[in-house]
Amino acid sequence: MDEELLKEYSELLPQKVLDEIKDAVPSNISKSKLKEILDKTLEEYNTMKVSPGECVGLVGAESIGEPGTQMTLNTFHFAGVSEMNVTMGLPRIIEILDCSKSLSTPMMEIYLKSPLNKGKGIKEFAENVKETKLRECIKEISVNIGNSSIEISLDKEKMDLLHITRKKLISIMDASLKGFTVKENDELIVVKPRGKDDTVNSLFKAKEKLKEMYVSGIKGITQVLPVKKGEEYIIITAGTNLKVVLEMEEVDATRTISNDSLEISEILGIEAARESVLNEVKKVIDVQGLNVDVRHIMLVADIMCISGAVKGITRYGVVSEKSSVLARASFETPLKHIINASISGERDHLNSVVENVMLNQVIPIGCGMPKLVLENEKGEKAK
């Protein structure tokens, strides 16, 4: 194989294509034949390129937007767990592209190392991952107005499953409740206010606070569901906390992901976030059985991540980055943009499509792009 010849083409063809050719042709191929193949490939490759002036953004937008009109079914259910609905369809697309801070169904897919990924002890592990609140490991909680105290009776079985001891629970309660004393009393745990200002109201407030008190597990993960994916077992969670989960020893940190692009960008960086946006949009479109070329979605993901932080396609995100006042004003809240522009004396260079449509000028796209410059007899360029 002529490595020299391949190198010559490394500037003209992407490495991936060259590698594929290398794998496909027999190693004893003659130089002229290889050159013929490479030339043919190059020709094909160049015809497939997007021409300059092609309106890729708009074509991308329409290509994602049009199938969006056909989307049905806004949720997706996991068999067996009724609480675990996943937002899908158009609402999910909007959520991803707007880059919402609070997703309606944040989720994680936790991949595990051996032996957990064979399914051994996965249930116990999952239970430990799940955030446990006090209300889940008690039988009963009640306010005893007679001696102004809160009485808690514990659920032993649940506590054993979670490996929580009574002592640990009491110490947690002691630390999180200020102004109260926590005491053991036979089967009960009794919480009493320390001071004298023991209004019933404050007791009830403390009771509500106790119920939602964090006991164990990973904060933010409200549901866990071990499922079999292909050959191995993984855990699907409702709620995310990528940072803590990735630090766990049993977790395969190379594959574990969350569906929150913002979280991913914070913890794994912007490249991972771009990939996440791409995958999440793709997932929705695939579930609906629609067909959108990935390159359209890639373009959107690129635009969202180009500044180094994930930005939504909203008037606060990507649209606010547009340089043209008129283009921004034509999107949303026109008055705001025009007034702000007039305060700072902004200049609109009319470089993009929307502004030129507004002025009814030739838009700088496609056949409106090339400019004709004539030279006169003296060789001067016309103005």
Q: How many other CB atoms sit within 10 Å of the CB of residue 189?
A: 21
Half-sphere exposure of 189 (CA within 13 A, CB side): 27
Contact status: 62 vs other proteins (CB under 8 A):
yes
Residue 213 or residue 319: which is nearer to other proteins going by CB?
319
- Residues 258 and 107: beta-carbon distance below 8 Å: yes
List, in sequence order, every beta strand (DSSP E) within 92-179: 107-111, 132-133, 138-144, 149-154
Tokens of 114: 């051996």
Residues binding other proteins: number (CB under 8 A): 29
- With CB under 8 A as the contact rule, the residue among 26, 359, 376, 377 that binds other proteins is 359
Residue 58 or residue 294: which is nearer to other proteins going by CB?
58
- Which amino acid would we find at residue 250? E
Residue 60 or residue 226: which is nearer to other proteins going by CB?
60
Residue 378 CB, shortest distance to other proteins, in Å, is 17
Contact status: 370 vs other proteins (CB under 8 A):
no
The residues in 1-40 that bind other proteins, with binding defined as CB under 8 A, are none
Q: CA dihedral in degrees (116, 122, 124, 128; nearest 10)? A: 80
Contact status: 53 vs other proteins (CB under 8 A):
yes
Contact status: 254 vs other proteins (CB under 8 A):
no
Separation CA 256–CA 252 (nearest Å): 6
Contact status: 382 vs other proteins (CB under 8 A):
yes
Contact status: 372 vs other proteins (CB under 8 A):
yes
Contact status: 59 vs other proteins (CB under 8 A):
yes
Separation CA 253–CA 109 (nearest Å): 11
Residue 167 or residue 383: which is nearer to other proteins going by CB?
383
- With CB under 8 A as the contact rule, the residue among 49, 146, 373, 375 that binds other proteins is 373
The residues in 306-345 that bind other proteins, with binding defined as CB under 8 A, are 338-339, 342
Q: Which stretch binds other proteins (CB under 8 A): 31-39, 108-116, 297-305, 369-377?
A: 369-377
Residue 345 CB, shortest distance to other proteins, in Å, is 8
- Residues 279 and 271: beta-carbon distance below 8 Å: no
- Per-position x/- string for 199-238, each x denoting binding to other proteins as judged by CB under 8 A, each - no binding: ----------------------------------------
Q: Which stretch binds other proteins (CB under 8 A): 77-85, 260-268, 285-293, 366-374?
A: 366-374
Contact status: 353 vs other proteins (CB under 8 A):
yes
- With CB under 8 A as the contact rule, the residue among 50, 73, 175, 362 that binds other proteins is 362
Q: Which stretch binds other proteins (CB under 8 A): 9-17, 141-149, 188-196, 365-373?
A: 365-373
Q: CA dihedral in degrees (177, 181, 184, 187; nearest 10)? A: -60
Sign of CA dihedral 36, 39, 43, 49: positive
Separation CA 234–CA 231 (nearest Å): 10
SS3 232: strand
Separation CA 259–CA 297 (nearest Å): 16
Closest by Cα among 306, 262, 280 to 100? 262
Residue 327 CB, shortest distance to other proteins, in Å, is 13
Tokens of 216: 């164990």
DSSP classification of residue 114: T
Q: CA dihedral in degrees (228, 234, 236, 242; nearest 10)? A: -170
Name the site residues for other proteins (rule: CB under 8 A).
53-55, 58-59, 62, 338-339, 342, 347, 353, 357-369, 371-373, 382-383
